[in-house]
Amino acid sequence: MPTSGFSSLCGFLRNRLAMKAVSPHRRRTAAARCRASNRLLAVLCFCLWGLSITPTLADKRVALIVGNSKYAQINKLANPGNDAPDFAKAMESMGFEVILRVDVGKSEFDRALAEFARKSEGADTALFYYAGHGLQYQRQNFLLPTDIEVQDSADVEFRAVGLDRVLQAISRTSGVKILILDACRDNPLATQFSSRSIGDGGAPRGLVRIDRTEGLVIAYATAPDQVAQDGSGRNSPFTQSLINHIREPGLEIGTMFRRVANDVFEQTKGRQRPEISISLLNDYFLNPAENDRIVWSRIRDSDNISDFKGFIEKFPTSPFAQEAQFRIDLFERIRLQNEIRARLAHQHETPSRPAPTAGAAAKHENAKPEETTQTADAAARQAEADRQEVERLARENRAARKRLEAEPGKQGLVDLKTQGQGK
C-alpha cells in the first residue's frame, strides 16, 4: 500500500473513531474510549501495513508452459520435452496454477493461449515459458509449433505463433507479467528462405529484443540475435539453472535471473549469455522467504503428522523445521507408547479358550518344567521392559506437552496434547 494512501486511511480511521468516542451519549467515557480507539487503530494500521509488504499464498498465479521437441518437418530438439514438465513442477510447488503443453501443433497452441488469456484476467502474476524452436522474421518473433510446414519465409506469419499474441494474452493481468523464452536455438528454416525474403528482413539467428512494457519481466536464454544451446543433459543449460535457482526462497527476481545468467555463461564457457529485461517499480519475489512463516502459522497447531513432514520437505532450511521435527518426534513417541500399552493390556487379558484337543493336552503334559519356566520368565521380562519403556515415553511426552502449552497464544494441538498421558 502506498505511504500516502496508508496515511490517509489512518487519518480517516482516527477521525471516525474519535467522532464515536465523543458522542453526546458517551461523554463520561470519552477519554477511556479514545484511548481504546487509539490502541485499536495502532493494531489495525500495523496489520494493514504488514499486508502491504508481505506476499501471501492466496495470490492468484497462473502459468502457461510449453515445450516442443518432436517437430514433424524440421530438426527435432532433445530437451524441451523435459524442460517444460520439469519447470512446471517447480512452478506448481510455488503455488502456480499451471497449464502444461508438450509437443503441440498450431491449433492446440492457440487453444492453450486462449485458456491462458482467460485465466490471466485478475491474476496477480501471469507467467509464460516456452522451450523449443523460435525465430525472428521482419523484426518480429515467432514460436514454432511441431506441425509447422514452411515453403518460404512468408508462411511463418501464418503458420507460426507470433510472440505478440502471447503478449496480448499475458497482458490481460494487471499484475506482474513474466515471459521466459528458452527458444533461440538457431533458425531451422534459414536455408529455406530465399535471398529475396532475406533481403526483406528475412530470418536471422536468434530472437529480436522485445520493447519494454510496464509490469513486464522478459528473460531470454541468450542475447538477442544469438543462438542458445540445447545442451547434452536432461535439460538445457538455461532451464536447468533456472530450475535450480527459482525455488530459492527470498531471491528478488532480478537477482535470481542474474545468477542464472552467470551459471549459463560459465557452463557454456562464454558462448551463451542470457539476458533479462525488467520493467517493475518494486522488487518482486517468485518464492518469497516469508512463505515458510505463513505455512508454519497455518499448520503449527495441526494434529496431522504429515503436515509437519511435508513442511520439512518443502522448507528444509527454515528456522521452523526444527519445531516441525519436534512435533513429529512427539507424534512418534505417542504412537509407540500406545502400541506398547495395547500389548501390555493384551498380556493381562484372560479370554476364554476352547478346550484343547487330546493331542494338544498330551503335548502340554509332556512339556518339560524348565521350558515352561523359561517361557514365563521371558514374558515377564518383556512385560517389565515394556512398562519401563511406557514410563520413559510418558515422561518425555509430558515434557513435550508442557513446552507446547507454554508457547504464546497456543490454542490447538488438543488431540496431540491429550494422547499418551501416562502417569
Is residue 59 within 8 A of residue 125, CB to CB? The reply is: yes
Q: Please give the share of the chain, as a percent, with pLDDT higher than 90.
A: 36
Question: Of residues 390 and 106, which shows the higher confidence score?
Answer: 106
Could you give the maximum distance between any two Cα atoms of the chain, in Å? Answer: 109
Strands 97-102 and 216-220, sheet pairing:
unpaired
Give pLDDT tens digits for 113-130: 999 999 999 999 999 999
Q: Which residues contact 210 (CB under 8 A, 6 or more apart)?
A: 141, 163, 167, 179, 218, 277
Cα gap 27→40, rounded to integer Å: 20
E-only strand ranges, 121-220: 125-131, 134-137, 140-143, 161-162, 176-182, 216-220
- The pLDDT value recorded for residue 138 is 84
Is residue 401 within 8 A of residue 412, CB to CB? The reply is: no
- The pLDDT value recorded for residue 192 is 62
The residue length of the chain stands at 423
E-only strand ranges, 50-201: 61-67, 97-102, 125-131, 134-137, 140-143, 161-162, 176-182
- The pLDDT value recorded for residue 389 is 76
Residue written as grid cell 503441440? 104
What kind and span of H or E run contains 277? strand 275-278
What phi, psi does 125 have (nearest 5°)? Answer: -140, 135
Give pLDDT tens digits for 357-380: 555 555 555 555 666 666 666 767
Which residue from 73, 90, 86, 104 is spatially nearest to 236, judged by alpha carbons?
Answer: 86
Give pLDDT tens digits for 40-69: 434 333 333 333 333 454 589 999 999 999
Question: Of residues 319 and 147, which shows the higher confidence score?
Answer: 147
Is pLDDT at 317 greater than 50 in this prediction? yes
- The pLDDT value recorded for residue 334 is 85
What are the C-alpha distances in Å from 332 to residues 33, 292, 329? Answer: 50, 23, 5
Give pLDDT tens digits for 322-332: 999 988 988 88
- The pLDDT value recorded for residue 335 is 85
Question: Of residues 48 and 264, which shows the higher confidence score?
Answer: 264
Which amino acid is located at 317 in the chain? T
Cα gap 254→139, rounded to integer Å: 26
Is pLDDT at 170 greater than 90 in this prediction? yes
Cα gap 227→305, rounded to integer Å: 49
- The pLDDT value recorded for residue 404 is 66
Is pLDDT at 252 greater than 90 in this prediction? yes
pLDDT tier at 220, thresholds 50, 70, 90: very high
Cα gap 134→113, rounded to integer Å: 17
Region for 337 from its dihedrals, namely left if φ exceeds 0, alpha if ψ lies in -120 to 50, beta otherwise: alpha
Residue written as grid cell 495470490? 59
Question: Of residues 99 and 55, which shows the higher confidence score?
Answer: 99
Name the residue ranges covered by the structural domains of the chain.
1-38, 61-278, 291-349+375-418
Flag whether the pTM goes above 0.75: no
Mean pLDDT of 82-86: 97
What does the mean pLDDT of the chain come to?
76
Q: Which residues contact 93 (CB under 8 A, 6 or more apart)?
A: 247, 314
Mean pLDDT of 64-89: 95
Q: Which residues contact 396 (CB under 8 A, 6 or more apart)?
A: 333
Strand partners, 217: 178, 278
Is residue 74 within 8 A of residue 145, CB to CB? The reply is: no
CATH architecture of 61-278: 3-Layer(aba) Sandwich (3.40)
